[in-house]
A = this chain, B = another copy of it.
Amino acid sequence: MTFAELPAEPTVAIVLYPGFTSLDAVGPYETLSNLPGARTVFVAARPGPVTNDGGALTLVAGAGFEEVPRPDVVVVPGGPPENVAAAREDVVPWLRAVDPYTTVTASVCTGSLLLADAGLLEGRRATTHWLVLEHLATLGCFPVSERVVTDGKYVTAAGVSAGIDMGLGLAAELAGERVAQRIQLMIEYDPAPPFRAGSPATAPAEIVQELREVGLGL
């Protein structure tokens, strides 16, 4: 086993903060909320509505951080770096406080910057959105260009949509391959991207260059 055993009724906590990227949170939600016995909760500085980076999507946090002191699985979504930086003050102390109790602490996209800020990735391999991968090195960890990176109980995924692959992989590690395969078939995850444009290695060079110039934020 890669991870310690989950309790029979694990709490899966998905973090929200103003300006998060919605698919970063919902991909892992749609997979990990189907872990057997799991109670899933969206958690934020305060319970209530939290609006995403685009401004048109609002998810409701069911609990404030102080109401979820012992989550078993934590997922931190990413967002544009300025939103992540603004979330630091609220999110980092909670990540530190719950760390002794988690079986897995995970992130998607730039969510790993918050894990790193909390000191959880010190000396570890980790990943993030391709546009900020090198920035991870300045935070005391080793950036790895892989879709999902596991180091100890810390699991980091690449940009946005990588949270779905991460969620299924975690489901397999935590509850067995059969459970993960059921979830994958239920969400009919047999992806057929219309273009070979999903990574800087495969996308047309001019598109990669365009995004490098724009930075994170379309």
Binding site for B on A (CB under 8 A): 21-23, 26-27, 29-30, 33-34, 39-42, 49, 54, 56-60, 62, 109, 129-130, 147-148, 158-162, 164-165, 168-169, 172, 177-178, 180-195, 197-200, 202-204, 207-208, 210-211, 218
Contacts and interface: CB of A to CB of B under 8 A. Distances in A.
Contacts of A159: 186-188
A193 B218 contact: no
Copies of this protein in the complex: 2
Nearest to A146: B192
Given A56-B40, A169-B194, A195-B168, A182 B210 contact: yes
A216 to B, nearest CB: 8
Contacts of A39: 56
A76 B111 CA distance: 29
B22 A26 contact: yes
